[in-house]
Structure 1
Amino acid sequence: MNTTNLGLGDVFAAFIVLGLFLLIGRFLKQTIKLFDLLYLPESILAGGLALLLGKEGLGHLVPASSFLAHQGIFPENIATVWSQAPSVFINLVFATLFLGETIPSPKEIWQKVAPQVAFSQILAWGQYVVGLGMTLLVLTPVFGMNPIAGALIEMAFEGGHGTAAGMAAVLDDFGFQEGGEIALGLATVGLISGVVTGTILINWGRRKGHISSGHKPDLSFDSSPQEAGDDSHELQTEYKSLGKNLLIDPLSINLGFVAIALTLGWLILEGLKELEALTWSKIDIEIMNYVPLFPMALIGGLIVQISMRRLGLDGLILRPLQKNIAGVALDAVIFSAIASISLGVLGTNLIPFLILSVAGIAWNIFAFLFFAPRILPTHWFERGIGDIGQSMGVTATGLLLLQMVDPANETEALESFAYKQLLFEPIMGGGFFTAAAPILVFQLGGMPVLILTGGFLVFWIIFGLFNFNVKPKTLM
């Protein structure tokens, strides 16, 4: 279907169906215990069901004479909207990351979380080294894979479904059409393995005495009524305060701030494109034309937050509402990305996909067991397990594992994990280098980027070991 024939009604219908499937995903999670035990988000369950009922599932199973053949239960216009949604909604997720947050000074942040930053950077740069190494040694010479495949582990594991979906168009521009599908598959593997591996490591850590928190892990799946009530009361108070002076819904105001962040991000990106056109593009190196909007949207949100703070108007930005906006956008990204996966592409590239999956999981486990106890000076297990969750799934997975291992927040792990994001997310996990890596591989080749990422990995290993130099207790 020609996308120019899509109308607002098609978009409206696509997101009505999306909402219905999210409710079905919630029902599946409540009724099937396995889904609950794996902590699978409703958006993944809903997207997986839509994938099975769409053209990639049901569409290939029914007889060719059936009206469901080649499209499943969804009309082509709805499927087309879903295929375009991830690269759009991911920008909203990143624009909201700093809005409503208290931004400490860089010096304060660094003093608190330098070891955490070192460990998380080792995890992320190592994913590039492992991925590019496996690609150059096996995937490209044996399976003929595009060298950009070496960047997919970090893109999918650290960045998650949102980043993988957002980068699909960039990969397509470089002739790596199957890259987006493989990245989404890797993100799903990373999310599930992050929870499963994290749970196994937590049980092992408790048996070996590596967990200093005196509480048992809280494996309940629902927030306590008291917590929910406190959040609700706080939000209602902020609503009431704003309502005295404003004749507009606070959600609309906060959407406006997201719009400003996106606009600033777009202006920054366009400015960098112009700068590139006047400078290094003259030597046939183009980067900015392939950079997506979402890393710039993150910077735009940071500029908005700092500016509103200095003007004394930051009270207009309500963090709970920003989280809600990001949550809805992320659900849309994950659902539509999974619902649009090409199963045929994954099947064709099954062995490379499995190689990347196993290599990524193995590196994360090794880095946790070897580097975390040597770099993180206190509560190494609690502080390290959060980064493992994030590096194999998403930030929410890291927070989930932190809750399991330290439910009463007795250690500084949660604070360190939160502040670390300010120095981590702008670069890795969907930040600037995540966006630039496929471009660099395309422009320079896999080996130069392997040397570059290997250099950064060595730097962070030396920095972590020499600055903190913790002598770990016997792990076994």
Structure 2
Amino acid sequence: MSPEQIGFALLYLGVFLLIGKWIRIRVKWLQNLFLPSSVIGGFLALLLGPQVLGSMLPVGEESFWATGILSPEVVQVWEEIPGLLINVVFATLFLGATLPSLSKIWNVGGPQLAFGWTLGWGQYVIGILLTVLVLSPVFGLPPMAGALIEIGFEGGHGTAAGLQSTFEEMGFADAYDLAIGLATVGILSGVIVGIILVNWGVRRDKTNVIKDVRDFSTLRKAGIMEFENRDPAAKMTVRPESIEPLSLHFSVVALAILTGYLLLQFLIWLESVTWGAWTGSDFMTYIPLFPLAMIGGILVQAFFHKVDNAKLLDRPMINRIQGFALDLLILTAIATVSLDVIGQHIVPFLLLAAAGIAWNVFGFLILAPRIIPTYWFERGIGDFGQSMGITATGLLLMRVVDPEAKSPAFEGFGYKQLVFEPFLGGGLVTALSVPLIYQLGAMTFLIFAAVMCLIGLLVGLLHFGRK
């Protein structure tokens, strides 16, 4: 494949993002669902690609239109993008962030951490039980399918993409498309069910801040920042004549990913000369790069915290890089998901999706009011949104019910993420869950997940819930 073809595939991404944004501005029902432009653009590319438009047109395999309006080279490049950009997303999680004290994390973010911890581990419990009792004996899926709810819902498209090579090495390549499909269902249902819950909460007087969801401006529904709220997206921490601020922050992100890569290679080498040499284990080779990129980001941030007296790292600039990578990741992941694989496993896919949605809704309506002592709706809806899709979904729903951040929802959510992200939602546990189930068995991991879920539930109910 030539550099021109790769460049053209990247240009196509910009076109579909713009079209997705234009559709969001023009179509009212999409505005009411608050769907991201990347999701809209991804679905449009899927419809116009080889799997839908290409299969519908009565042309031969040699025709240009056999693959829709996406050439095979474009599809080939797009298929690789999610697995690469997830490293950028996770490397930026803690860069430029000020780490608060443990006591503040516990006091402010503790209730949301307990609730989110319960939801996350509960997805493993529900998924593995469903797999052991139904999916494996009836449909022949391997026990690793029990991890797909947490990977697709809590982890999202990026996590699923980052685990593609792991799925292949475990002999369950179809899991990638199933996880991407579940991630798409998670985002859509997270926004749709979340908005329904918000309307229900407002009518039933469950919310403490907003009392009418019709108060949103037309510009906000269209995803356009109001003129009076257009603050700078980032700060200029260095002078452009020395280095462009965006270039500096990109370089730091690259350093974080490289640090994670070196750490991963060290772990693989350490295993090969220690327990791997004694037992024949090659467990470390199954670990994807993105959780180590997150650890690399933490190490780089700790280094800058010690030596950077000029405060060169700007968190809003890091957020822009992360958001850019996430937009491209979601669009390409949706556009290249295999409909054939989902069609072959449609019943297990629907069962996993329904079980995940039911557990999250149950958690929000039944557990959140009993775990979160104050502003339970505003705080719990963020964890519900994240458990259904991605962090952005949780932030979106919190902004709907608390647009001016009058409740402790945003602060608590941020503190909760500092402890939550290194483990669940794409962290170490998510990355290791499939290899662990493969090597240790589903029942062993089920017992471990049940214990972790029970710890989160008991801490939430007995400690925070009594306040």
Letter of the 1:61 partner, please give it.
Answer: M
Letter of the 1:169 partner, please give it.
Answer: S
One of 27, 30, 35 as aligned partner of 2:22? 27
One of 329, 338, 344 as aligned partner of 1:342? 338
- Structure 1 counterpart of 2:232: 231
Asked if structure 1 preserves the Cα contact closer than 8 Å seen for 2:86 and 2:159, the reply is yes
Asked if structure 1 preserves the Cα contact closer than 8 Å seen for 2:111 and 2:460, the reply is yes
The secondary structure found in structure 2 opposite 1:40 is coil
Q: Unaligned stretches of 5+ in structure 1? A: 1-5, 472-476
- Structure 2 counterpart of 1:286: 282
- State how far apart, in whole Å, the 2-side matches of 1:38 and 1:160 are: 18
Does 1:196 find its partner at 2:197? no
Does 1:321 find its partner at 2:317? yes
Cα drift, residue 69 of structure 1: 5.6
- State how far apart, in whole Å, the 2-side matches of 1:22 and 1:393 are: 20
One of 248, 266, 275 as aligned partner of 1:271? 266
What is the CA deviation profile of residues 162-187 of structure 1, one whole-angstrom value per residue up to 9, with x for unaligned ones?
11122122112211111111111111
What is the CA deviation profile of residues 217-249 of structure 1, one whole-angstrom value per residue up to 9, with x for unaligned ones?
454323322221x235xx4xx42x5218x5111
Cα drift, residue 372 of structure 1: 1.1
Letter of the 1:231 partner, please give it.
Answer: P
- State how far apart, in whole Å, the 1-side matches of 2:68 and 2:157 are: 23
Asked if structure 2 preserves the Cα contact closer than 8 Å seen for 1:216 and 1:405, the reply is no
Output the aligned Cα RMSD.
1.8
What is the CA deviation profile of residues 249-295 of structure 1, one whole-angstrom value per residue up to 9, with x for unaligned ones?
11111111011101111111111112222333232443321111111
One of 30, 38, 41 as aligned partner of 1:43? 38
Does 1:467 find its partner at 2:447? no
Asked if structure 1 preserves the Cα contact closer than 8 Å seen for 2:166 and 2:288, the reply is yes
Cα drift, residue 134 of structure 1: 0.4
The secondary structure found in structure 1 opposite 2:232 is helix
- State how far apart, in whole Å, the 1-side matches of 2:310 and 2:77 are: 35
- State how far apart, in whole Å, the 1-side matches of 2:340 and 2:40 are: 20
- Kindly report which structure 2 residues correspond to 1:97-112, keeping only aligned pairs within 5 A, or say none: 97-112=93-108
- Structure 2 counterpart of 1:53: 48
Shifted more, 154-163 versus 33-42: the winner is 33-42
The secondary structure found in structure 2 opposite 1:242 is coil
- State how far apart, in whole Å, the 1-side matches of 2:107 and 2:432 are: 28
What is the CA deviation profile of residues 185-206 of structure 1, one whole-angstrom value per residue up to 9, with x for unaligned ones?
1111111111111122222222
- Kindly report which structure 2 residues correspond to 1:80-99, keeping only aligned pairs within 5 A, or say none: 80-99=76-95
- Kindly report which structure 2 residues correspond to 1:151-162, keeping only aligned pairs within 5 A, or say none: 151-162=147-158
What is the CA deviation profile of residues 394-428 of structure 1, one whole-angstrom value per residue up to 9, with x for unaligned ones?
11111111111122322111110111111111110
How many corresponding residue pairs? 459
The secondary structure found in structure 1 opposite 2:334 is helix
- Structure 2 counterpart of 1:163: 159
- State how far apart, in whole Å, the 2-side matches of 1:437 and 1:338 are: 23
Shifted more, 49-58 versus 435-444: the winner is 49-58
Shifted more, 304-313 versus 381-390: the winner is 304-313
TM-score (norm 2): 0.94
One of 380, 385, 390 as aligned partner of 2:386? 390
The secondary structure found in structure 2 opposite 1:401 is helix
- Structure 1 runs of 4+ aligned residues shifted over 3 Å read 214-220
- Kindly report which structure 2 residues correspond to 1:301-312, keeping only aligned pairs within 5 A, or say none: 301-312=297-308
What is the CA deviation profile of residues 293-315 of structure 1, one whole-angstrom value per residue up to 9, with x for unaligned ones?
11111111111112112113462
Letter of the 1:273 partner, please give it.
Answer: I
- Structure 2 counterpart of 1:184: 180
Does 1:376 find its partner at 2:377? no
- Structure 2 counterpart of 1:8: 3
- Structure 2 counterpart of 1:420: 416
One of 57, 61, 72 as aligned partner of 1:62? 57
The secondary structure found in structure 2 opposite 1:59 is helix
Does 1:256 find its partner at 2:256? no
What is the CA deviation profile of residues 301-342 of structure 1, one whole-angstrom value per residue up to 9, with x for unaligned ones?
111112112113462212222122112211221111111111
Cα drift, residue 464 of structure 1: 1.8
- Structure 2 counterpart of 1:3: none
- State how far apart, in whole Å, the 2-side matches of 1:166 and 1:312 are: 32
Asked if structure 1 preserves the Cα contact closer than 8 Å seen for 2:108 and 2:412, the reply is yes
Asked if structure 1 preserves the Cα contact closer than 8 Å seen for 2:210 and 2:401, the reply is no
Q: Unaligned stretches of 5+ in structure 2? A: none
Cα drift, residue 357 of structure 1: 0.6
Cα drift, residue 160 of structure 1: 1.2
- Structure 2 counterpart of 1:474: none
- State how far apart, in whole Å, the 1-side matches of 2:187 and 2:310 are: 34
The secondary structure found in structure 2 opposite 1:55 is coil
Letter of the 2:21 partner, please give it.
Answer: R
Instruction: Quote the sequence identity (%).
Output: 46
- State how far apart, in whole Å, the 2-side matches of 1:128 and 1:60 are: 36
Asked if structure 1 preserves the Cα contact closer than 8 Å seen for 2:64 and 2:71, the reply is no
- State how far apart, in whole Å, the 2-side matches of 1:463 and 1:284 are: 39
- State how far apart, in whole Å, the 2-side matches of 1:284 and 1:31 are: 58
- State how far apart, in whole Å, the 1-side matches of 2:353 and 2:104 are: 37
Asked if structure 2 preserves the Cα contact closer than 8 Å seen for 1:156 and 1:186, the reply is yes
Cα drift, residue 77 of structure 1: 1.6
CA 1:308–1:461: 2 relative to 1, 3 Å: same
